[in-house]
A and B are shown apart, each in its own frame.
Chain A
Amino acid sequence: MIRSAKLARLSRRRVLKGMLNGAAVTVGLPLLDCMLSDSGRALASGAPLPIRFVTWFWGLGGNASVFVPKKTGADYDLPEELQALERVRQHVNVYTNFNAFRDSAPNLCHYTGWIVCRSGAAPIASEDKPGETIDVIIARTIGRALRFPTVMVTANGDMRTSFSYENANSVNAAEPSPLNLYTRIFGPDYQDPNADGFTPSPIVMARRSVLSGVLDQTRELASVVGAADRARLDQYFTGLRDLERQFDQQLTKPEPIAACHKVDPPGPDPRSGIDADVVALRHRQLTDLMVMALVCDQTRVFNMAYSAAFASTIKPGYEKPHHTTTHEEPIDKETGYQPIASWFARRAMEEWAYFVEAFARVREGDGTLLDNTLIYASTDTNWARIHSIDGIPMFTAGRAGGRVRTGLHVDGGGTAATRVGYTALKVLGVDAASWGTKSNSTSSEVSEVLA
């Protein structure tokens, strides 16, 4: 798939190269009536529809007694806290009884669990971020040449809530503002793939040229710093190279995309705050924008945080935020769980359902955007009350171009939670013999969900 896409781009560049010779020109490339091949699984050029990888995060897990379906396999039941998934159940796989292993590392509250699920390794201290997150790995395979290789957005209003990093000192800051997100993606730099004409921007060519000078300066600077700082400069240098590639792409007429349409600005940002209603509003605005960013091929990888691991979401009128509630609220003797904590988990699941549905609503090819996407959802704990990371729940949604079966509940039998991430890596074409470290290392995909 990737190879084909590259060939398609090269072909267009070859055509444009002659036209660009010196002056700005406008190239009329009419939008085709039918941009899909007969199969409905490929663009008219022959390039297959891209497969995307998306992550979704919610904090503080759930109450297992009302979260874990009793039935495994297809047609699984929906316990109380998963009731909101009724309308998307056929798209969603539920993974339970998978463990995040810490080995000799401490169980760092609300931290170890998500780090293992996203990086494959247990941190040894609260500031430790081992490895790199799964979105970064996959973006290197499927998203590097796009405008945004990977994007991190968060619905809790805090740019520090990020589940995407290259290393401990290189965290992808989250975008909390729908308006800013709109501007970043669909603002002045956006190239509408369905625009009638295409004018390669001479100023982009000039910018690209200037970058080469900056690259030279970076080489020189690297000669006067120590080894650790040189590695940081290498990272900066790599970033410049990626910017160059992105400029190249801006000089290329994008391939028309039928499902991509103009996005209206979202209007003023929702009020500040983290009560569940405003978080939901922000979550839905960010989701809708990112869905269209995928459709319009501005990125193929992004991460959504519904909340932080230490989720401080508020239930209006209740004095404690979600995190504190999970620790301090007594267990109701009749139901066997913490009712307010469960309220928070249910609100999170309502948003998870919205998220999945947002992908399922978009027609793409002969299916939907969700059919061409794999969404991986994870959390930080199983039972937040005691910071349990055994049986840490996860979900996936989407069929990843037909490579994944959906609508299943998988019991992991106590095996590594990293198997779900590893499955995602393989499905997205990452050449990885294994993923994770120590007990979290796995080379075993979750075969039940592979088509």
Chain B
Amino acid sequence: MDLSVPGIGWRYPPAPGRGPRAAAAVLALALLPLTSAADTASAPAAILPTGPADAATPARMRLVSQEQYFNSLGYVFGPDISVPAHFAPFRRTDGLLASGSASAGVTLAQMQEFQRTARSLAEQVVSPANRDYLVPCRPRDAVRADRDCAREFLLPVGRLLFRRPVDEPTADAVVAKSAAAADQLHDFYGGLAVALEGLLMAPQALFVVDRTEPDPARPGYGRLDAYSLASRLSFFLWNAAPDEELLRAAQKGELATPEGRAKTVDRMLASPRLETGMRAFFDDMLRFDDLAVLAKDPGIYPVFGAETLADAREQTLRTLIDHLIVRRHDYRDLFTTRETFITPALAVIYGVAAAPGWNAYASPADSPRAGLLTQVSFLAGHAHPGRSSPTLRGKALRELLLCQTVPRPPPNVDFSLLEDANSRLRTARERLDLHQSNPVCAGCHKITDPIGLAFEQFDGAGQYRATERGAAIDASGVLDGRKFDDLAGLSATMREHPQLSACLVRRVYGWATGGPTQPADKPVLEWLGAEFAADGYRLPDLLRTIALSSAFATVREAAPAAAAGGGAP
């Protein structure tokens, strides 16, 4: 099976979880010996990051996101098992939707959505088309209960969905419910579907609960138990529940040793599933959820359609994955790299030609296109439907990439001179100078506009332009004391900005640990920043450092002790 990504040249090996037949193999993993990437992964590096000894995170209870839910099910049942779903988005917290999962509640409407989704998924899994692959046994009689066969299916599935073994009382109850339903419905598979529906909407499946235990090596400290650590690793790196191999490592106690944890982390970093995780992370960090509802006025930008928008999002994600993961390049170079990927829809915006599909593309040395800031996702994503917006672009640069906060505008200001029909103000710079002269506005606009104006040579659709209303565009500016002449200069300045990498570290740490960063995290963030720099600003190294840090597995406050055996979460 060729699973290469066009344009990137990264060829994935066939992996479990791709198609029902492969998924059937996944379900059998609990019973079969493993031969997998773990056996071929490189040996752990000799130096194991630990970081500040007293760094820790709270024990959290996260609600799984829709993407995590389906990524996890894709592993268990294969990607063909899928239904349209509309889980409520989380509240963006500390820059990430994912961090909102640590406080998200479940409304009744959301509960209904979980139930509808679970029912449709369960029906698909046991449907005549799939049951032969996904159910590892045959009932003795298809119109009656068969507890043994039900158990053989439900327990491994429950283990994967709950991310830990299903304890015996729960297992017995689930199998009994399945049997009762099968007899009632005169349909073994109907009973199985109903029981699976219950598993899919169980709190253990929907909430990722950090279970803790005392750290025997450090009296007075708590740590995640093995299965919770496995889940934290998996959602961090893959944005999905642990695979069978990771659960087995947890079961064997391998994650409790530095060597065992490093071996597991290296296997996970080498997996193609890392791309899934990092795509999700950057999609969240760059607020690409906004792109899903962005619209441009076709009358003003006739070249910009829905396809352009989808391709713009994909372009940036491909660039990120190729640059950071595949090539292991310096994160800062993303802001100056001329290498990216384009499609015909993007080529129109770029003013070049492109073959159908995705094409590797390197902009010429004299092209103004270089780096993430010149990509359509940023330029068009932070602009109005019918014009550019220096203020929105400057705000996005500061908030998304530098983790700064731009204050909300004051309620009572008059912007109308910006559009005075009799005005001689032709360029955005001239218009925005009004903000600078108005003391009410100046405070905030001094933060956004001097950098936002650097983008003005790109219109609201991301197309290059040298003039606006016949006047030459001056794209010079200053970012935190450093002057530049144009967007290329701003990008180069961004590359050297100390908060650029610090911001990424903060966001990745929040993503990794499942919640917002806190003031107490300052020492560990500083340590991670130094490690990131020492490693040449390479993302995989940062991921590894976080995953192997003491803080990652240490909990600030130990929650009540888990039941022995960790069966029912």
> B-contacting residues of A (Cβ < 8 Å)?
107-109, 126-127, 148-152, 156-160, 165-173, 175, 180, 184, 189, 202-203, 205-207, 209-211, 213-214, 216-218, 220-221, 223-226, 228-229, 232-233, 235-236, 238-240, 242-243, 246, 272-275, 312, 314, 316-321, 324, 327-331, 385-388
CB–CB A210/B181 < 8 A: yes
Q: How far is the CA of A207 from the CA of B422 in the complex (A)?
A: 68
The residue that B211 contacts in the complex, of A169, A224, A312, A387, with Cβ under 8 A, is: A224
Which A residues lie within 8 Å of B115 (CB)? 243
Which residues in window 385-431 of B have CB below 8 A to A? 385-387, 408-409, 411-421
Residue of B with least CB distance to A158:
B293
* Chain A proximity of B452: nearest CB distance (Å): 15
CB–CB A170/B104 < 8 A: yes
Residue of B with least CB distance to A166:
B107
**Stretch from B190-198, B229-237, B242-250 that touches the partner:** B190-198
With contacts A160-B89, A166-B107, A211-B198 taken as known, whether A226 is within 8 angstroms of B412 at the C-beta atoms is no
The residue that A210 contacts in the complex, of B195, B203, B289, B421, with Cβ under 8 A, is: B195
**Is B478 an interface residue when CB atoms closer than 8 A count as contact?**
no
Can you list 15 pairs linking A and B with CB atoms under 8 Å apart? A149-B109, A160-B289, A170-B106, A217-B170, A217-B568, A224-B560, A224-B563, A235-B106, A236-B105, A239-B108, A239-B110, A246-B112, A319-B384, A321-B386, A330-B417
The residue that A202 contacts in the complex, of B93, B185, B298, with Cβ under 8 A, is: B185
CB–CB B198/A221 < 8 A: no
* Chain A proximity of B419: nearest CB distance (Å): 5
With contacts A319-B384, A328-B418, A387-B412 taken as known, whether A274 is within 8 angstroms of B295 at the C-beta atoms is yes
Which B residues lie within 8 Å of A387 (CB)? 411-412
Which B residues lie within 8 Å of A213 (CB)? 170, 173-174, 177, 198
Residue of A with least CB distance to B111:
A239
CB–CB A243/B177 < 8 A: no
With contacts A158-B293, A213-B173, A220-B568 taken as known, whether A206 is within 8 angstroms of B105 at the C-beta atoms is no
Q: How far is the CA of A167 from the CA of B569 in the complex (A)?
A: 26
* Chain A proximity of B183: nearest CB distance (Å): 10
CB–CB A214/B202 < 8 A: yes
> A-contacting residues of B (Cβ < 8 Å)?
59-61, 63, 84, 86-89, 91, 93, 100, 103-112, 115-116, 119, 170, 173-174, 177, 180-181, 184-185, 190-191, 194-195, 197-198, 201-204, 206-207, 209, 211, 289, 292-293, 295, 297-300, 306, 384-387, 408-409, 411-421, 460, 557, 559-563, 568-569
Residue of B with least CB distance to A150:
B109
Residue of A with least CB distance to B178:
A210
Q: How far is the CA of A272 from the CA of B292 in the complex (A)?
A: 10
CB–CB B209/A221 < 8 A: yes
Residue of A with least CB distance to B211:
A224
B100, B110, B569: residue with the most chain A Cβ atoms closer than 10 Å: B110
Q: How far is the CA of A158 from the CA of B86 in the complex (A)?
A: 12
Q: How far is the CA of A149 from the CA of B111 in the complex (A)?
A: 12
A-B interface, 4 closest residue pairs, ranked by CB to CB distance from nearest: A319-B386, A239-B111, A170-B105, A387-B411
* Chain B proximity of A111: nearest CB distance (Å): 9
Which B residues lie within 8 Å of A312 (CB)? 295, 385
* Chain B proximity of A131: nearest CB distance (Å): 14
CB–CB B411/A109 < 8 A: yes
The residue that B180 contacts in the complex, of A184, A209, A275, A324, with Cβ under 8 A, is: A209
* Chain B proximity of A337: nearest CB distance (Å): 12
Which A residues lie within 8 Å of B412 (CB)? 386-387
Residue of A with least CB distance to B61:
A229
The residue that B105 contacts in the complex, of A167, A240, A324, A331, with Cβ under 8 A, is: A167
Which B residues lie within 8 Å of A108 (CB)? 408
Which A residues lie within 8 Å of B289 (CB)? 160
Residue of A with least CB distance to B417:
A330
CB–CB A202/B411 < 8 A: no
CB–CB B569/A221 < 8 A: yes
With contacts A151-B109, A160-B89, A224-B209 taken as known, whether A330 is within 8 angstroms of B421 at the C-beta atoms is yes
* Chain B proximity of A42: nearest CB distance (Å): 29
Residue of A with least CB distance to B93:
A127
CB–CB A169/B104 < 8 A: yes
CB–CB A239/B106 < 8 A: yes
Q: How far is the CA of A119 from the CA of B190 in the complex (A)?
A: 44
* Chain B proximity of A352: nearest CB distance (Å): 23
The residue that B89 contacts in the complex, of A173, A217, A320, with Cβ under 8 A, is: A173
Extra A-B contacts (4), CB below 8 Å, given A170-B107, A209-B177 = A126-B408, A213-B174, A224-B562, A320-B387
Which B residues lie within 8 Å of A385 (CB)? 414, 416
* Chain B proximity of A308: nearest CB distance (Å): 10
* Chain A proximity of B513: nearest CB distance (Å): 16
Which A residues lie within 8 Å of B563 (CB)? 220, 224
With contacts A167-B105, A209-B180 taken as known, whether A148 is within 8 angstroms of B419 at the C-beta atoms is no
CB–CB B106/A207 < 8 A: no
Q: How far is the CA of A367 from the CA of B451 in the complex (A)?
A: 61
CB–CB B411/A318 < 8 A: no
Q: How far is the CA of A189 from the CA of B113 in the complex (A)?
A: 13
Q: How far is the CA of A240 from the CA of B409 in the complex (A)?
A: 42
* Chain B proximity of A206: nearest CB distance (Å): 4
CB–CB B194/A210 < 8 A: yes
CB–CB B173/A331 < 8 A: no
Q: How far is the CA of A216 from the CA of B415 in the complex (A)?
A: 58
The residue that B204 contacts in the complex, of A211, A217, A321, with Cβ under 8 A, is: A217
Q: How far is the CA of A387 from the CA of B409 in the complex (A)?
A: 10
Which A residues lie within 8 Å of B107 (CB)? 165-166, 170-172, 235, 239
Q: How far is the CA of A243 from the CA of B84 in the complex (A)?
A: 20
* Chain B proximity of A272: nearest CB distance (Å): 6
Q: How far is the CA of A234 from the CA of B75 in the complex (A)?
A: 30
Which A residues lie within 8 Å of B387 (CB)? 319-320
Which A residues lie within 8 Å of B194 (CB)? 203, 206-207, 209-210
* Chain B proximity of A241: nearest CB distance (Å): 10
With contacts A210-B197, A386-B411 taken as known, whether A203 is within 8 angstroms of B190 at the C-beta atoms is yes
Residue of A with least CB distance to B201:
A214
A151, A165, A166, A220: residue with the most chain B Cβ atoms closer than 10 Å: A220
CB–CB A320/B109 < 8 A: no
CB–CB B295/A169 < 8 A: no
Which B residues lie within 8 Å of A189 (CB)? 116
* Chain B proximity of A157: nearest CB distance (Å): 6
The residue that A175 contacts in the complex, of B86, B299, B384, B409, with Cβ under 8 A, is: B86
CB–CB B415/A221 < 8 A: no
Q: How far is the CA of A319 from the CA of B386 in the complex (A)?
A: 4
CB–CB A275/B295 < 8 A: yes
The residue that A236 contacts in the complex, of B106, B174, B195, B292, with Cβ under 8 A, is: B106
* Chain A proximity of B243: nearest CB distance (Å): 23
Which A residues lie within 8 Å of B93 (CB)? 127
Q: How far is the CA of A173 from the CA of B63 in the complex (A)?
A: 15
A109, A224, A272, A312: residue with the most chain B Cβ atoms closer than 10 Å: A224
Q: How far is the CA of A327 from the CA of B391 in the complex (A)?
A: 14
B107, B300, B386, B559: residue with the most chain A Cβ atoms closer than 10 Å: B107
